[in-house]
A = this chain, B = another copy of it.
Amino acid sequence: MRKLLLVVGVVAGVASAQERVDWETVGRIRLEATRNSQVMETVQIMTDLLGPRLTNSPNMRRAELWAKETLEKWGLANVHLEGFEFGRGWTFSRCAVEMTKPTEAVLIAFPEAWSPGTNGRKLGEVVRVSLESEADLEQQKGKLAGKIVLLSKAADIKPPEEPLFKRYKEEDLEELEQFPIRPPRDEEWRRQARKEWTFGRKRAEFLMAEGVIATVEVSSRDGGPVRVMGTPAYRIGFPEGVPALVMAAEHYNRLVRLVEKGEKVELAVEVDARFLDGDTKAYNVIAEIPGTDLKDQVVMAGAHFDSWHTGTGATDNAASCAVVMEAARILKSLGIKPRRTIRIALWNSEEQGLNGSRAYVCQHFACWEPQEKPKDDLPESLQEGERRLVRKKDFEKLAAYFNLDFGAGAIRGIYTQENLAVKPIFSAWLAAVEDLGAKTVAVRAVGGTDHLSFDRVGLPGFQFIQDGLDYMTRTHHTHLDTYDRLQREDLVKNSAILATFLYQAAMRDEPLPRKPIPSPSTSPR
């Protein structure tokens, strides 16, 4: 096949290295992505049919198998599930909450993941109590048996004067091109998080010992969305606590106001939830398009497949998984023979702390290993003590990793993760997709998702810049994170852009330049 190789000199005002863009192949990628897109069909199955994909839930087990079968059907190579130790599964099938006094009302609430059910319908008086310290526990000791405890303050609900749905404007993108100087890394967060974890265990044991019927916290979104995450009880040995609900802000606030006015408030709660103690491993889904002359080297794209449990995890992060799968489908269906092996990963347990990607990177590429055995059972990210980087056999072989997890919005560019040397390379590639709206290279580092697992060990891992849409206002971890929030045009564009980046990275003569290996304390979180 004849390739049209152009040399891009100056792109978007940046003096580029002599980075070649294969416009002909990128053009074929574009047309496959736009003419024959399967991305919406794929994401609809993930969301509507498979449902939310909490790590180690029955839904997620089905989803892992479905992904494997689908990728095999598409002809990808080396499709397999790769397990890592996670902990307990959990699911829920009912959550009915009613106010029975001072008047009847049906209230909207969801259980936190990995919180127990109520074992039938339970009636209890509502009290508003802060349990933020051991002194609080001491003070409430003996007072909370048979009670339903409101743990949060009332939400501060403000009029929604700004649109809930936004895309980047030109001036926002220009600002992103500026490199902000980060303050020195503050390790106080770890001390605080360790303290909270340890107190969380004590509080869970306290609530069980006292015989509290249920706790209720307020949703951190109002106006409809109920935002719900989980407890640490997926970790074997962590106490299950008592039924833990998160309630719609308007309903929660009503309870707080009534209680604070001295009214006797009673709720009926019925939660059917169950822990699952079979296989404690969670699984990443891996598939490849084998490379040719540089096949030992690998270019990866990934997105986390797990979600929280109340919506269907559409924008967080089925949409990105569908885009990753679609990019692989596009390249495969075009019969492209990449120089390097292209590998995609659907990560598991991102939501509990990037667990799937970290386990994978640790297994294959490199690991920050503790110098001595941890003294407690805290998650790895909270453990203290010196660590050293242990390189694994494929450390030098990872040429690039591209991550998608900033909602389901259109890709508008890419963050280089403080790796200046990739700027001219990405600028050149973006020239081929700028008419899809993606043109910005932001040298700054961003955190919060799986590219960090690569970045932290010095591998070139990157997250794209994506339009925010209504991710932070409505869908992030809420029950409204459903298929309806997805914009087809965005996902089609993103499939073309990701396939372009994978192809370019797989074909160039050199792997992407790496930045100096960071110390564990210099990565963003």
Contacts and interface: CB of A to CB of B under 8 A. Distances in A.
Given A225-B224, A249-B484, A250-B484, A106 B110 contact: yes
A44 interface: yes
Interface in A59-116: 59, 62, 91-96, 98, 100, 102-106, 108, 110
A480 interface: yes
Contacts of A225: 223-224
Contacts of A94: 96, 98, 106
Nearest to A105: B51
Contacts of A98: 93-94
Contacts of A474: 160, 223-224
Interface stretch (A25-33, A179-187, A251-259, A297-305): A251-259
**Most chain B Cβ neighbours within 10 Å, of A106, A108, A270, A474:** A106
A15 interface: no
B157 A161 contact: no
B223 A48 contact: no
B161 A103 contact: no
Contacts of A257: 44, 48, 483
Interface in A427-447: none
A159 interface: yes
Given A96-B96, A224-B224, A48 B160 contact: no
A142 interface: no
Contacts of A92: 104, 106
Contact of A163 (B48, B161, B249, B483): B161
Q: Which of A261, A311, A469, A484 has the most CB of B within 10 A?
A: A484
Query: Which of the listed residues A52, A95, A104 has the most CB atoms from chain B within 10 Å of its own CB?
Result: A104
A463 interface: no
Contacts of A62: 103
A346 to B, nearest CB: 18
A62 to B, nearest CB: 8
Contacts of A261: 44, 48-49
Interface string A224-250: 110000000000000000000000011
Q: Tell me how many chains of this kind the complex includes.
A: 2
Contact of A159 (B93, B104, B165): B165
A162 interface: yes
A470 interface: yes
A162 B470 CA distance: 12
B254 A482 contact: yes
A256 to B, nearest CB: 10
A103 B253 contact: no
B51 A258 contact: no
A222 interface: yes
Max chain B Cβ within 10 angstroms of own Cβ: one of A52, A223, A257, A474: A223
Contacts of A162: 163
B91 A95 contact: no
Given A160-B165, A161-B163, A250-B482, A49 B95 contact: no
A164 interface: yes
A487 interface: yes
A59 B93 CA distance: 31
Interface string A146-167: 0000000001010111111100
A253 B44 CA distance: 12
A263 interface: yes
30 contacts: A44-B261, A47-B254, A48-B257, A49-B263, A52-B105, A59-B103, A94-B98, A96-B96, A106-B110, A155-B484, A159-B165, A159-B469, A160-B164, A160-B474, A161-B165, A164-B164, A222-B484, A223-B225, A223-B480, A224-B224, A224-B474, A250-B311, A250-B482, A250-B484, A253-B482, A253-B484, A254-B312, A254-B482, A254-B483, A257-B483
List 4 A-B pairs, minimum CB-CB distance, nearest first: A224-B224, A96-B96, A51-B103, A159-B165
